[in-house]
Amino acid sequence: MCPPRLLSVPATAYYLGLSTWQVRRLAQAGVLRRVAIPAGHGQEIRRHLFDVHDLDELIAQAKV
């Protein structure tokens, strides 16, 4: 079984070693790109998930 590509806010926080609030702040600032999964039938967005590939790219760019 392969690992999931999309992570929830808590899973993203764990993956990056941050708090969930830090993840939400980074998403609001546009640093972390969200994948918006609609609830269906024209309803509002149900959840925001984060793509592991985007997180890995962010990590690679942050290396000094």
* Domains detected in the chain: 6-62 (1.10.1660)
Summarize pLDDT for 5-57 with one digit per residue, the tens. Answer: 999 999 999 999 999 999 999 999 999 999 987 777 777 666 789 999 999 99
pLDDT of residue 64: 87
- What b-and-e string marks burial along 30-62, b requiring 16 or more CB atoms within 10 Å of the CB? eebebeeeeeeeeeeeeebbbbbeebeeeeeee
Stated pTM of the model: 0.83
